[in-house]
Structure 1
Amino acid sequence: MSWQDDAGRDLVRSFGERMAMFVRGEGAYLWDDAGRRYLDFLGGIAVNSLGHAHPVFVEALARQAATLTHVSNYFATPPQLQLAATLKRLAGTGERGRVYFGNSGAEANEAAFKLARLHGRESGRPRILTLENAFHGRTMGTLALTGKPAMQEPFSPMVPGVEHIPVTIEALEAALDDTVAALVVEPIQGEAGVVELPEGYLAAARELTSAHGVLLIVDEIQTGAGRTGAWFGFQHAGITPDAITVAKGIGGGFPIGALITFGDASELFFPGSHGSTFGGNALGTAVAGAVLGEIERAGLVANAAARGAQIRDAIADIHSPLVTGCRGQGLLIGIALARPVAGAVVAAAQTHGLIVNAANPSTVRIAPPLTIGDDEIAEFVDLFQASLATATEALLLDDAADAAPAKVNA
């Protein structure tokens, strides 16, 4: 029996077949069960901010595990309060900001959904707006927020009250009125193919939501923790939202999520209105605090901005009929393809020892650790060019086979 057999027998089939069995990681590299090394430019889908087995992560985990791991939310712990203060400072909430801790991005967005409902209940506003092609999670609440009908269909009916609007300022102007409780938006639509919002969208959204008394909730699950070259994606637009959700990179590989509120939105929750047994436990908050501390100490937000520009310039110099451009900011990058063959490119990349991801059929997504430097980028470019060549050759063979005349039996 192989590990593939074990996975096929024992794991729920909500995922596709596992592509490899990884047994060890260090920095930007992974090793599989056969001892082969891979350059990891997916980073657990924008999770491993410091890469694999970073000493700061390991030390914080071991130190806190030897001291205190969990006491429930009836009590406070030092790492919980320290992380809350750090997140407020980095997000710029001011004194009135508050933090709710969960265990994942979906949990953070469920809390945001409840925040929107509380605001709507107080003000008689039944509607919540999100964007077409948005992705906010796979729980029933966050799936309702997710603007992907194909993902929703097997689980219909959805939680009511959510509307998905086109990603234009004009559509937002038409949809917003005094019946809307909240607008939930990603600064970059990662699962849609690393698609940036139209120029000026967040600034317009802030102006329009403020005019109508609507909460602006920014989903920073994939864009937060320095990923885009700012601590949070909304900061590129120079706005102040009413709430943001964070997860993925803040824990650097440890499962943790959070809802961070600003201003009046901080007063909506009341005792008993929401909770999570493991949310904000001492172990998770200690690790996340250490990860954010190292990102800040090592200047990794600036590194994400600089290295992202470096990668985009390098991709622009690749001469391949498959590559048509790049999208994204910092180290969240979507490489646009001329044909819907991202799956083939990703498979070819794995044969060359490179881990990337197909965000959609025509986009290859990369989200490497924020720690990468010149050597890893040079290796990525070489491996990605080889992957494109392999995929192109296979596609040409397929095209030739499709174009060949069918044999006629005599």
Structure 2
Amino acid sequence: MKNFKEIDDQYVAHSYARFPVLIQSGKGVYVYDDEGKKYIDFTSGIGVNSLGYQYEAWVQAVREQAGTIAHTSNLFYNEPMLELAEKLVTRAGMKKVFFGNSGAEANEAIIKAARKYANDHYHGRRTEICTLNNSFHGRTMETLSATGQEVFHQDFFPMPTGFQYADPNLEDVKAKTNEHTAAILLEMIQGEGGVVPLDPKFVQDVADLCKENDWLLMVDEVQTGIGRCGTFFAYEQFGIQPDLVSSAKGLGGGLPIGAALIGEKCEDVFQPGDHGSTFGGNPIVCAGANVVIDTLTPAFLDEVKEKGDYLKSELSKLPHVVQVDGLGMMLGVQFDEMKGIDVVNACLKKGALFLTAKDRLRLLPPLVMTKAEIDEGLNILKDVLSHWEEA
């Protein structure tokens, strides 16, 4: 399609600054454009294609389910959804799950669960949720309001109320919480904020604070979860057990899904009519997600952690790299001079896809990427950085 940019410009809302590439197919950790050019992919669709492209078991499960029944609505049961619910709840050590279609929907669900718990137990006295500055929780009006970055709020006022924003230290969290607080919402790694991990001591202190005050501890695992950081959920590496957890992205393996996991304290908070999602628990999507969950064995997760450590170590050796942050296969790279977007554009020309997070380079490769494939992509990145002054 030679005029794809013109068609997009004429017919699609201008809410994305796209790269000038029309991706037509993918295999393993590679994608191919409309001219047949091959790219090694360190983006996995912003963390969605966790098993890469054309993962055989995933394709088979999705294809078989599509040939059986595509949609039923939540007025009826469907088997893939029930299987996925049991697997997710069991793996997470939670009690219930609500299915939606995206990370924003998953965050909306846990926000609603927190507010209903507060109203059920404190009858309108607890109305605020504390989130962190530099956080990101979604693009709906409510999750945008929960996001602790003013740049995302501009032009959309008036914003929904009921959120306080604290810096990631215990003193400021205590200053921004009070008798009106219902919950605290955290990302273990602030992905859109620049791939910035929270300090484990701070996370544990916040968890203790929540227990002391009967505040709900909420964790946004939309980007960090489902094996991305080397454990099923990133919070497992921080020694906490949240009351509410949001998940999405990598869970579907390429299809849209969101999951709000609900712990014991809130397991009965939703009653019929309290919340809903027409496509939530869709059989085709859940069939694919079941394959993703089944693939994330302890051995597989150990490999993700090992490959992530290797990737982090090798990145730190590259020219112009001053800092590498993150866990597992979710990493952010800070350069001494150049911006992440300039590096992304240079690598794109040479056949490697990377992401940005603020001024950093962000890496979210498929979890199935091998060390040899990691080296292939790093060699392109090294070439770009080594010849930066010549560019």
Match of 2:344 in 1: 346
Q: Distance in 1 between matches of 2:29 and 2:149?
A: 32
Aligned residue among 96, 102, 108 for 1:98:
96
8 Å CA contact 2:182–2:216 kept in 1: the answer is: yes
8 Å CA contact 2:220–2:247 kept in 1: the answer is: yes
Q: Distance in 2 between matches of 1:204 and 1:387?
A: 42
Structure showing greater radius of gyration is 1
Q: Distance in 1 between matches of 2:201 and 2:58?
A: 37
Match of 1:120 in 2: 118
Match of 1:177 in 2: 178
CA displacement at 1:339 relative to structure 2: 3.1
CA displacement at 1:229 relative to structure 2: 0.7
8 Å CA contact 1:176–1:209 kept in 2: the answer is: no
> Aligned pair count?
387
Output aligned runs, 1:157-236, within 5 Å.
157-236=158-237
Match of 1:2 in 2: 3
8 Å CA contact 1:202–1:234 kept in 2: the answer is: no
Counterpart amino acid of residue 315 in structure 2: I
CA displacement at 1:330 relative to structure 2: 0.1
8 Å CA contact 2:5–2:20 kept in 1: the answer is: no
Counterpart amino acid of residue 102 in structure 1: G
What SS class does the counterpart of residue 273 from structure 2 fall into? coil
Output aligned runs, 1:267-346, within 5 Å.
267-296=268-297, 299-318=299-318, 320=319, 322-339=320-337, 341-346=339-344
Q: Distance in 2 between matches of 1:281 and 1:75?
A: 11
Q: Distance in 1 between matches of 2:19 and 2:373?
A: 25
Counterpart amino acid of residue 379 in structure 2: D
Stretches of structure 1 that go unaligned for 5 or more consecutive residues are 395-410
Match of 1:398 in 2: none
Moved more, 80-89 or 339-348: 339-348
Match of 1:400 in 2: none
**TM-score (structure 2 length as normaliser):** 0.96
8 Å CA contact 1:72–1:277 kept in 2: the answer is: yes
CA displacement at 1:175 relative to structure 2: 2.5
Match of 1:374 in 2: 371
CA displacement at 1:340 relative to structure 2: 5.2
CA displacement at 1:174 relative to structure 2: 2.5
Instruction: Report Cα offsets for 1:3-53 as digits up to 9, x if no partner.
Output: 111111111101113431111100110111111100001111111110011
8 Å CA contact 1:133–1:148 kept in 2: the answer is: yes
Q: Distance in 1 between matches of 2:316 and 2:337?
A: 17
Q: Distance in 1 between matches of 2:126 and 2:199?
A: 27
**TM-score (structure 1 length as normaliser):** 0.92
8 Å CA contact 1:136–1:146 kept in 2: the answer is: yes
Q: Distance in 2 between matches of 1:325 and 1:78?
A: 46
Match of 1:89 in 2: 90
